[in-house]
Structure 1
Amino acid sequence: MSDEEPPRRRMVKPPSGGLEAGRHKPARLKTAYRRTPSQQAWLERQINDPFSAEARAKGYRSRAAFKLSEIDDKLKLIKKGTKIIDLGCAPGGWIQIALERGAGPVVGVDLLEVDPLSPATIIQMDFTDPACGPRLMELLGGQPDIVLSDMAPNTVGHRETDHIRIVGLIELAVDFAVSVLKPGGSFVAKAFQGGETAEVIGRLKKHFEKVQHIKPKASRADSSEVFLAATGFKGPSI
């Protein structure tokens, strides 16, 4: 899911945190011609965001790449030859970090079309399609060591309905991870503060040695975005 494009109605993109822009006066776009106020604000935020600037400088497809790199720096999940499945991988920032750190094979899926990132395999498909999970496993050629999920659902602006959709998508990702991970494997998923239920956390604790919330510096401070990191997979039948 990209945060390098203007907000789209089909995706949840709450403002996500980062470093202070410094003492310089924030840059403003010279013209707002044909832009909505939200698009104007989003573009100005991107211009002044240090993580977005660094992502461009390093050739990362999105500032979200730094979220995974921070999580991996903390947990040391990705090693040479680590098999990874990335759910909701557009535009590919997490895959770039995984490949950079020696993972492989890496397979990603998203509703959006994603430009190739060799040697990773990326498919355009709806993860909620029952055929998607088996297809990902076939492409990976074995059990993954890590399942990543940066997925977020469509929202309608109704708090209770949006909450149900957010929780439902996290639960689907958990179901998939629990059914396919290698023993000792890890699961990392985007969540939102207050957006996941006690049942989700309880299930993760049942199947993993350790479950924690992580708020990377690259996730904007005013965002409710957090990441669930579950490590030490104990098996599907626990």
Structure 2
Amino acid sequence: MAKKTSGRGQRDLTVKVKTARGRRSSSTRWLQRQLNDPYVTRARAEGYRGRAAYKIMELDDKYRFLVPGARVVDLGCAPGGWLQVAVPRINALGEKSGKARGRIIGIDLQEVEPIAGAEIHQIDFLDPGADDLVRGWLDGPADVVMSDMAAASSGHKQTDHLRIIALCETAAEFAFDVLEEGGTFVAKVLAGGAEGELQAVLKRRFEKVAHMKPPSSRSDSSEKFVVASGFRGRDDEDEI
């Protein structure tokens, strides 16, 4: 372990990871970054399933879409950090006396460990009829559809950008099918310029479209989030 001394006489400890046999240097850098990431440490201490929990906290702190009584869908919800944040904010457990009780549906291709207050389903949201299933589980349309989905990294920046934009587009199409008028769509994108068509459609379908890079998002990451609020309703001419 290497020690660094700050200008104020305080010692900052940085964990350095040696490149092990069979481990790529990129994997070593990722591991070192994880070990020294304050949000990873904080997530462990506070019981969240990943540092991504702080991203949805910061987005909601600014745009206020996770309100008591809201009906929420979390696409690609594994490992469940966003669900953990949303449950108390929408009052899914009914712990806020006098406040409406919300509902949240988590959807993922892989199995997700249960979370009190969240209803988790292992399905593909692209399957025919998935939108009808979700509306049935919610007993109506959703107020919020959110997605932190990301395709597996290929190591090629442009390819990864196109893949995540494609995921965001499919999530948006799903949102158009299940959102209540006035609802909100939140999704991760990557800065890179290929999202023009998506942005144009979102601006037609929502009253406001904003972008934010949460403070908890790594500074060396090109990720940002789109928050589209005030859904105007479905228009088949605006398919992406």
Q: TM-score, normalised by structure 1?
A: 0.83
Tell me how far apart the structure 2 counterparts of residues 196 and 228 of structure 1 sit (CA, whole Å).
14
Q: Give the Å deviation of 1:195.
A: 5.5
Distance 1:131 1:157, change over 3 A: farther
In the alignment of these two chains, the number of paired residues is: 217
- Which residue pairs with 1:19 in the alignment? none
Post-superposition offset of 1:138: 2.2
Runs of 4+ off more than 3 Å: 29-36, 154-164
Structure 1 gaps, min length 5:
1-21
Specify the alignment match of 1:171 in structure 2: 169
Alpha-carbon distance in structure 2 between the residues aligned to 1:216 and 1:80: 23
Deviation at 1:109, TM superposition (A): 0.9
Are 1:123 and 2:133 an aligned pair? no
> Is the contact made by 2:134 and 2:178 (CA closer than 8 Å) also made in structure 1?
no
Residues 128-184 of structure 1: CA distance to partner in whole angstroms, max 9, x if unpaired? 222433322222221111000111224545555544432222111111112221111
Residue of structure 1 in register with 2:60 after alignment: 72
Give 2:87's aligned residue: 99
The residue aligned with 2:70 is 82
Tell me the residue number matched to 1:151. Answer: 149
Q: CA deviation at 1:23?
A: 6.3
CA distance in 2, matches of 1:100, 1:147: 17
**Mapped contact 1:166–1:195 kept (Cα < 8 A):** no
Deviation of residue 37 (structure 1)?
Answer: 2.8
CA distance in 1, matches of 2:17, 2:155: 28
The letter of the residue matching 2:48 is: Y
Where structure 2 has 5 or more consecutive residues not aligned to the other structure, the ranges are 1-9, 93-101
RMSD: 2.2
Report % sequence identity.
Answer: 49
Contact in 1 for aligned 2:190/2:223 (Cα 8 Å): yes
Larger Rg: 2
- Correspondence list, 1:1-20, <5 A: none
Higher share in strand: 2
CA contact (8 A) 2:161 2:191 kept: no
Q: Distance in 1 between matches of 2:111 and 2:105?
A: 14
Tell me whether 1:26 sits opposite 2:17 in the alignment: no
TM-score calculated relative to the size of structure 2: 0.82
DSSP-derived class of the 1:185 partner? strand
The answer to whether the 8 Å contact 2:15/2:32 transfers is yes
Structure having greater relative contact order (Cα 8 Å, sep ≥ 6) = 1
Q: CA deviation at 1:39?
A: 2.9
